[in-house]
Amino acid sequence: MKFEAFKDSVRLSMEDICEEFLARNRDRIKVKKDRVAVKNLAKIFEATLRVSNEKGFASMSLRDLSREAGLSMGALYSYISSKDELLDMVQQQGRSLVFKILGEHIEEIPDPREKLKAGIQTHLYLSEVVQPWFYFSYMETKNLPRGVHRKAIEAELFTEKIFAGIIEEGIGKGLFRKVDPQMTSAALKAMLQDWYLKRWKHERRRLSVEQYAEFVIELMSAYLDAKEEKGG
Amino acid sequence: MKFEAFKDSVRLSMEDICEEFLARNRDRIKVKKDRVAVKNLAKIFEATLRVSNEKGFASMSLRDLSREAGLSMGALYSYISSKDELLDMVQQQGRSLVFKILGEHIEEIPDPREKLKAGIQTHLYLSEVVQPWFYFSYMETKNLPRGVHRKAIEAELFTEKIFAGIIEEGIGKGLFRKVDPQMTSAALKAMLQDWYLKRWKHERRRLSVEQYAEFVIELMSAYLDAKEEKGG
DNA sequence: GTCTATATCTGGATAGAC
DNA sequence: GTCTATCCAGATATAGAC
């Protein structure tokens, strides 16, 4: 699949995402009119991601945020009840997005080789479309309070498990050689994450997400197809 | 090389590192007695890394730090002149450590294959010995002010260049197939970083740094040795 | 050299006018 | 629904005693 086709197929605007978010959290938001709420939530999320990814969530004051979002402090507090809750809101929405899209794009594929390929592409393409969300989730995970941190860790392991499962299936069917599915999946995940964590680097090199996807697929294929014998 | 042997060979205690740091920054530190200064710097660095890696540098108050380091606020300010400077101090020391150790361990090796292997091992082993430093440097890079951020980016590209150079040499000598050295090196770096960024995961899986090093070397070898032909 | 005490400021959160 | 004004906890940084 080409990136442009993917982009069209998911059609994710900030407002779409916020609309879904509002529906899921209608009780927590004081503002009653949906149109108004979605519009301002979009502003708040966008500003949170922009400012946080610049200076870190902890260093972003709510005054910064209210200025950048174009809302007063008072208005801001009609949408969030605390800064911590805002963090949770953004993370939660990012996670459910990944689960949904990744699931949709790979569940129906029977061939492990094709499934792995689709998984890699989907993960990279999605992280390209909503890069600020991915970057934010990764970077702000460590600072999470209480049980929210656990959720984030589960999310990390969730996608890893998906890839490990595909690899395991491929080994079972004799398509891949006998590697450690868990470690292989972990390494793959590291490469997928590198795409959105070091965007400045890849951008500077004029590397497209399609080129990167192809590279990762080739590297993984080389490892999964290699002969068992070892030289050296 | 075995990890234990590496560990002995570098013998890096927090105090050794601080001693070197003090020598390089003698003018910035008000306390005159070297013994006292080194001892307290070690406490400050150790506490900074511990608390920051727990809750993030921005969220660490200097009260937290002074308590954790066992120094009063006043004493603390005899060693640092501001919180920003502390950030710079820790990062700077981490960087110079990496350059030194990585350089020492690979410069004399002529065979690209062996050199790559040694580079991977050294990077992983070092990040294991001084994990808090690596983690801190990675996580707190984005929040840096001014030109300090540039230094951190250069450091990222520096090690990447080392590995790209080795791969390029290997290709030139006909030992590796014709891959993109820069992209390959970037992917390798992502895997090396994963080791210290997701320590919780690897620890939980009882994975040793030697096992991980072997895995990465094998994966890279598979890619670099693979046939050019591709199955569809 | 290190401590306690404190000046000063910043940021999260809220009350109440519009 | 949104704004301004304000409260107050907690932060950085410093002064001056010991």
Contact B56 A193 (CB under 8 A): no
CA of B72 to C1' of C4 (A): 9
**Separation between Cα atoms, residue A49 and residue A57, nearest integer Å:** 8
User: Which residues, at least 6 apart from A50, have a Cβ–Cβ distance to it below 8 Å?
Assistant: A68, A132
CA of A39 to C1' of D1 (A): 13
The footprint of strand C (CB < 7 Å) covers A 60-63, 73-74, 77, 81-84; B 31-33, 36-37, 40, 71-75, 78
Q: Which of B153, B183, B200 sits opposite A215 (nearest CB)?
A: B183
Are B63 and B31 contacting, i.e. CB atoms less than 8 angstroms apart? no
Q: Which nucleotide is nearest to A72 (CA to C1')?
A: D3
How much is the CA Rg of chain A, to the nearest whole Å? 20
Angle between helices B83-106 and B112-129 (to 10 degrees): 150
The answer, yes or no, to whether residue B230 has pLDDT greater than 80, is no
DSSP codes of every residue in A23-88? HHTTTT-----HHHHHHHHHHHHHHHHHHHHHH-TTT--HHHHHHHHT--HHHHTTT-S-HHHHHH
Element (H, E) at B93: helix B83-106
Mutation choice for B interface testing from A142, A167, A189 by most B CBs within 10 A: A142
**Separation between Cα atoms, residue B141 and residue A55, nearest integer Å:** 10
Are A93 and A17 contacting, i.e. CB atoms less than 8 angstroms apart? yes
CA of A64 to C1' of D9 (A): 19
CA of A58 to C1' of C10 (A): 13
Query: Which residues in window 61-90 of B are less than 7 A from strand D by Cβ?
Result: 61-64, 73-74, 77, 81-84
> What DSSP state is assigned to residue B126?
H
Tokens 């294929």 belong to A221
> What DSSP state is assigned to residue B2?
-
Q: How far apart are the first and last CA of chain A?
A: 38
The nucleotides of chain C lying under 7 Å from a protein CB are: 1-6, 10-16
Contact A56 B143 (CB under 8 A): yes
Kindly list the distances between the CA atom of residue B139 and the CA atoms of A178, B87, B160, in Å, as whole numbers in the listed order. 35, 12, 18
Q: Tens digits of per-residue pLDDT, B67-125? A: 999 999 999 999 999 999 999 999 988 888 888 899 899 999 999 999 999 999 999 99
Q: What's the gap in Å between the CA of A197 and the closest CA on chain B?
A: 10
Judged by DSSP in three states, A195 sits in: helix
Q: Which of B53, B191, B207 sits opposite A190 (nearest CB)?
A: B191
pLDDT at A191: 98
For chains A and B, count residue pairs whose Cβ atoms are closer than 8 Å.
92
Are A95 and A151 contacting, i.e. CB atoms less than 8 angstroms apart? yes
For chain B, the maximum distance between any two Cα atoms, rounded to a whole number of angstroms, is: 69
DSSP codes of every residue in A158-184? HHHHHHHHHHHHHHHTTSS-S--HHHH
Instruction: Count CA atoms within 13 Å of residue A28 on its CB side.
Output: 15
Q: Tens digits of per-residue pLDDT, B137-177? A: 999 988 777 678 888 899 899 999 999 999 999 999 999 99
Are B41 and B124 contacting, i.e. CB atoms less than 8 angstroms apart? no
**Separation between Cα atoms, residue A129 and residue A209, nearest integer Å:** 10
Q: So where are chain B's domains? A: 3-225
Q: Tens digits of per-residue pLDDT, A41-99? A: 999 999 999 999 999 999 999 999 999 999 999 999 999 999 999 999 999 888 888 88
Mean pLDDT of the residues in chain A: 93
Q: What's the gap in Å between the CA of B216 and the closest CA on chain A?
A: 8
pTM greater than 0.85 (yes/no)? yes
pLDDT at A146: 67
pLDDT at B146: 66
Second-level CATH architecture of A3-225: Orthogonal Bundle (1.10)
Q: Tens digits of per-residue pLDDT, B43-58? A: 999 999 999 999 999 9
Q: Where does the pLDDT of residue A187 fall: very low under 50, low under 70, confident under 90, or very high at 90 and above?
A: very high
